[in-house]
Amino acid sequence: MIDFAAIEIETANHQPTSICSVSIIMVRHGQVVERIHRWVRPVPNFYSRCHTEAHGISARHTDAAEVFPRVWDEVAPIIGGLPLVVYNSHLKETYLRAVFSDYDMLYPNFQFECVCCASRKRFGSQLPNHSLSVLAAKCGFELGECPQPITKAEAVAHIALKIM
């Protein structure tokens, strides 16, 4: 796979519509050509403690942010019809379907590719688990402690370029 959009989506709470961050790494001809990160005002607009502890994002990041449709209108032309490469495609697709439905937006037929699934096929039991941090380290990318969403998207792109 040489042309794709690696995407990382974070949510503010347990609701799949509560997207609060969208990060995209655009890859063309096997090279990173663009990095995009946008904060999103989540719906519903509250942060659960467990989500903030997991990703470090809080209302201070998104109080002045645009709502999802405005953010998506900006990034959709950049993504075009490229496959979306993600970690945990089932979860990310659930988030996107929910927020598109919540805003009565027409849901495109995204082609999802999952680096976690690819890891399970490629490495199987060679890894202690297939978490993003373990997989990134296996592929030579260090995530560090509580990485920013754009860094997670970069890790997904790096992994995809190595194993897909």
pLDDT at residue 88, as a whole number: 96
Domain at 4-163: CATH architecture: 2-Layer Sandwich (3.30)
For tokens 């403690």, name the residue.
49
What gap in Å lies between CA 76 and CA 52, rounded to an integer?
Answer: 27
Please give the mean pLDDT across all residues of the chain: 96
pLDDT over 90 (residue 23): yes
> Domain spans of the chain?
4-163
**CA triplet 147, 109, 120: central angle to 5 degrees?**
50
Phi and psi, residue 20, nearest 5°: -120, -10
Buried b / exposed e along 27-63 (16+ C-beta atoms within 10 A): beeeeeeeebebbbbbbeeebeeebbeebebeeebbe
- Report the distance separating Cα 152 and Cα 82, nearest Å: 19
* Residue 146 pLDDT greater than 90, yes or no: no
pLDDT of 26 higher than 90: yes
- Residue 112 is predicted with a pLDDT of 97
In this prediction the pTM is 0.95
What is Dmax (Cα atoms) for the chain?
44
User: Which of these ranges, 36-50, 110-124, 132-146, has the smallest mean pLDDT?
Assistant: 132-146
Res 121: pLDDT: 95
Which tens digit of pLDDT belongs to each residue from 123-136?
999 999 999 999 99
